[in-house]
Amino acid sequence: MLIVSGPTGGSGHDGKDHPERPSRIAAVMAGIDRLHLGNDLHMVAPCAATMAQMAPVHGSGYLSELAAFCEAGGGNLDPDTFAAADSWLAARRAAGAGLMAVDALRHRNEGVAFVAARPPGHHALRDRAMGFCLLNNIAVSAAALIAEGERVLIVDWDVHHGNGTQAIFWDEPNVLYVSTHQWPLFPGSGAASEVGGPQALGRTVNIPLPGRATGDVVRQAIEEVALPVIEDFQPTWVLVSAGFDAHRADPLADLALSSGDFADLGRLVAGFAPRPGRLVLFLEGGYDLGALEMSVASTLGALLGEFSQPEEPTSGGPGAAMVQQARTERVESLNRSLDIASTEGNR
Amino acid sequence: MTPLRTIAVGFDGSPDAEAAARWAFALAQKVGAEVVVVHAVGLLEHAAHREISAEFEATVRGLIIEVGLDPKRARWHSSDGDPCSVLLRATDGPVAADLVVVGSRGQGSHAGHLLGSTSHELAEHTVVPLVIVPLEA
């Protein structure tokens, strides 16, 4: 069973000629249509997140300022990020769609949920919009889950590092954040040596990859670097920042994945969920509409056991050495942090 | 107070950024410091990064000549990220600036709103002195 929370953002929050545009949602829904799910598809209408639901993730000053900025007509927030007059509502609906997806799964205890919403969220910081993102959708859902005593794994396979999600949960021991991303690339964070704050050492796993890396390298990165940490963490929920801009056709980055690779990644990540009904995918990036449609179909099809893989998985690209280097840098960084903690403890 | 060695100035091609660069070059000339012109490469710039950087670097070279700073004392530094994060990183690591200079309103600033203001964000987070140069300076 597939639960789709949304669609939302298919109209509104329009930056005119901006790659993060309303037609992305039409492409996502076309990808879902390819699966011909019939009664196995359940649509959930999103409600806008309330201030109280967003408060654990975003400062009240930022939320008020963003609301006022949009009410005044909006504009560019930085060279990449815009907010239109209707963006405040669109962003709250995107954040609320995640909460609705979690609720729907919790009541059914079966299936997989996909949040078909924009604007995306994983770059949004506690008090700052950036990288096309206004509110951190996945963080709002993760915060709601940890408030209920859950242990949340966030896997972020968007081609860009989810700096906002990492920063929000930097020192939160009940969230494990795992990211594969192109490096160097916007936003410039996501080094393997970034491993979490003092209360959550090791709860951040970054695996930077070089341009032209293929799907086999991304899978290797997750299996060799992240898997032991995930097994140790034992998540009760798995949330995925499912950006599809690592596709080789994407105009904003240089990884070389196909839609078939996202099917493999979906299956791999589904294996981390403790039981059915505990996996939610959130739309993040993906700016080539054809690649986005194929990748959504391929990923969700794989999760439902349906075959919809228009492109073969890729292999043979660079990055294996960088994965090994990430593993080494991570261990060294953890050891340094533990040494510092030990020295401070002895004072 | 230690003497100024490295000044980082943010540059996004806006008139305000040009005013900030002129001011930073003039200060460097006066105190014998080096200037690092810092450019943040955003998401949208990915595909056209080389062309945009080349255009901005040419503008900066013109400003250096205009102010009369020794070109050897200025260098270009572009880095992935949003303007605020990139400038904050410039106070650490290989740039290690001990002063940051920005224009009062870059591409994302709006009168009457703190949201999108790089100078406001920097003022909240920087660990080195910050100079905000108005367009009229």
Chain B residues 78-97 with CB within 8 Å of chain A: 79-86, 89
| CA angle A137–A149–A173, rounded 5-degree value | 75
B52-80 per-position pLDDT tens digit: 888 999 999 999 999 999 999 999 999 99
Nearest CA in chain A to B81: A187
pLDDT band (50, 70, 90) for residue B119: confident
Q: Do A78 and B121 touch (CB under 8 A)?
A: no
Are A33 and A2 in contact by the 8 Å Cβ rule? The answer is no
* pLDDT the model gives residue A340: 84
Averaged pLDDT, A71-86: 93
| Residues of A involved in catalysis | 123
Averaged pLDDT, A237-251: 98
**Domains located in chain A, CATH noted:** 2-346 (3.40.800.20)
Q: Do A78 and B118 touch (CB under 8 A)?
A: yes
Are A127 and A136 in contact by the 8 Å Cβ rule? The answer is no
Averaged pLDDT, A326-335: 97
Q: Do B115 and A77 touch (CB under 8 A)?
A: yes
Least CB–CB distance from B80: residue in A19, A186, A251 = A186
Least CB–CB distance from B116: residue in A68, A77, A184 = A77
B3/chain A closest Cα distance in angstroms? 30
CA-closest candidate to residue A318, choices A221, A204, A226, A187: A221
Nearest CA in chain A to B120: A128
Averaged pLDDT, A131-155: 98
Residues of A in contact with B116 (CB under 8 A): 69, 75-78, 81, 129
Least CB–CB distance from A251: residue in B47, B85, B121 = B47
ipTM summary value: 0.89
**Pair of tokens at residue A40:** 């196995």
B109/chain A closest Cα distance in angstroms? 7
Q: What percent of chain A has pLDDT over 90?
A: 93
* pLDDT the model gives residue A20: 97
**Domains located in chain B, CATH noted:** 6-133 (3.40.50.620)
Least CB–CB distance from B121: residue in A128, A132, A163 = A128
Q: Is A228 on the interface with B (CB under 8 A)?
A: no
Averaged pLDDT, A67-86: 94
Averaged pLDDT, A133-149: 98
Q: Is B44 on the interface with A (CB under 8 A)?
A: yes
Q: Is A91 on the interface with B (CB under 8 A)?
A: no
Are B105 and B14 in contact by the 8 Å Cβ rule? The answer is yes
CA-closest candidate to residue A278, choices A45, A99, A111, A139: A111
B112 conformational bin, left if phi > 0, alpha if psi -120 to 50, beta if neither: left
Residues of A in contact with B107 (CB under 8 A): 76, 78-79
First to last CA, chain A: 56
Q: Do A19 and B80 touch (CB under 8 A)?
A: no
- Position B1 pLDDT exceeds 90: no
- Position A9 pLDDT exceeds 60: yes
Length of chain B counted residue by residue: 137
Other Cβ atoms closer than 10 A to A111:
19
Q: Which of B43, B105, B125 to mutate to test binding with chain A, by most A CBs within 10 Å of its CB?
A: B43
**What DSSP letter does each residue of A93-154 carry, written as one string?**
HHHHHHHHHHHHHHHH--SEEEEEESS--TT-BTTB-BTTBSS-HHHHHHHHHHHTT--EEE
Least CB–CB distance from B116: residue in A76, A160, A184 = A76
